[in-house]
Chain A
Amino acid sequence: MSGDNEDTQTAEDTSVDEKEVQEKVISPEKVEEAKLKSRYPNLGNKPGGSDLLRKRLQKGQKYFDSGDYNMAKAKIKNKQLPTAAPEKTEITGDHIPTPQDLPQRKPSLVASKLAG
Chain B
Amino acid sequence: MAGPGGDMQWCFSQVKGAIDDDVAEADIISTVEFNHTGELLATGDKGGRVVIFQQEIENKSQPQFRSEYNVYSTFQSHEPEFDYLKSLEIEEKINKIRWLPQKNAAQFLLSTNDKTIKLWKISERDKRPEGYNLKEEDGRYKDPNTITSLRVPVLIPMDLMVEASPRRVFANAHTYHINSISVNSDEETYLSADDLRINLWNLEITDRSFNIVDIKPANMEELTEVITAAEFHPHQCNTFVYSSSKGTIRLCDMRASALCDKHSKLFEEPEDPSNRSFFSEIISSISDVKFSHNGRYMMTRDYLSVKIWDLNMENRPVETHQVHEYLRSKLCSLYENDCIFDKFECCWNGNDSVVMTGSYNNFFRMFDRGQRRDVTLEASRENSKPMQVLKPRKVCAGGKRKKDEISVDSLDFNKKILHTAWHPQDNIIAVATTNNLYIFQDKVN
B interface residue numbers (CB < 8 A to A): 16-18, 26-27, 29, 43, 45, 47-49, 51, 71, 74, 76, 79-82, 86-92, 114, 176-177, 195-196, 220-221, 223-226, 245-246, 272, 274-275, 277-282, 285, 328-332, 335-336, 435, 437
Quick check: which of A12-20, A53-61, A75-83 contacts chain B, the rest being far away?
A53-61
**Bound-complex Cα distance A105 to B18 (A):** 23
Give the residues in chain A near B195, CB-CB below 8 Å.
56-57
**Bound-complex Cα distance A53 to B226 (A):** 7
Cβ contact within 8 Å between B277 and A27 = yes
**Assuming A27-B275, A29-B277, A49-B224, is B332 touching A113 (CB within 8 A)?**
no
Known pairs A29-B277, A43-B278, A47-B281 / 16 extra A-B pairs, C-beta < 8 Å = A27-B277, A29-B331, A47-B278, A48-B281, A48-B282, A48-B285, A49-B224, A50-B220, A53-B225, A59-B177, A60-B114, A61-B88, A108-B92, A112-B43, A114-B16, A114-B45
> In A26-65, which residues have CB < 8 Å from any B CB?
27-33, 35-37, 39, 43, 47-50, 52-54, 56-57, 59-64
A116 contacts chain B at the CB level, 8 A cutoff: yes
Cβ contact within 8 Å between A112 and B246 = no
Give the residues in chain A near B225, CB-CB below 8 Å.
48, 53
Give the residues in chain A near B82, CB-CB below 8 Å.
105
Tell me the count of chain A residues lying within 8 A, CB to CB, of chain B: 42
Specify which of B27, B49, B279 is in contact with A32 (CB 8 Å cutoff). B279
A interface residue numbers (CB < 8 A to B): 3-4, 7, 27-33, 35-37, 39, 43, 47-50, 52-54, 56-57, 59-64, 102, 105-108, 110-116
Give the residues in chain A near B89, CB-CB below 8 Å.
60-62, 102, 105
Closest CB in chain A relative to B6 CB, distance in Å: 34
Give the residues in chain B near A36, CB-CB below 8 Å.
278, 331-332, 335-336
Give 7 A-B contacts (CB < 8 Å), ordered by A residue. Answer: A32-B331, A57-B177, A106-B80, A107-B92, A113-B17, A115-B71, A116-B17
CB-nearest residue of chain B relative to A36? Answer: B332
Closest CB in chain B relative to A14 CB, distance in Å: 19
Going nearest first, the 6 A-B pairs with the smallest beta carbon separation are A48-B281, A105-B80, A108-B47, A28-B329, A107-B79, A32-B331
**Bound-complex Cα distance A73 to B71 (A):** 50
CB-nearest residue of chain A relative to B52? Answer: A115
Cβ contact within 8 Å between A33 and B226 = no
Give the residues in chain B near A30, CB-CB below 8 Å.
277
Max chain A C-beta neighbours (<10 A), residue from B45, B177, B223, B278: B278
Max chain A C-beta neighbours (<10 A), residue from B27, B177, B330, B335: B335
**Bound-complex Cα distance A114 to B224 (A):** 40
Give the residues in chain B near A27, CB-CB below 8 Å.
275, 277, 328
Cβ contact within 8 Å between A114 and B43 = yes
Cβ contact within 8 Å between B279 and A33 = yes
**Bound-complex Cα distance A35 to B18 (A):** 39
Closest CB in chain A relative to B114 CB, distance in Å: 7
CB-nearest residue of chain B relative to A48? Answer: B281
Give the residues in chain B near A39, CB-CB below 8 Å.
332, 336
Closest CB in chain B relative to A77 CB, distance in Å: 26
Closest CB in chain B relative to A51 CB, distance in Å: 10
**Bound-complex Cα distance A27 to B91 (A):** 40
Closest CB in chain A relative to B16 CB, distance in Å: 5
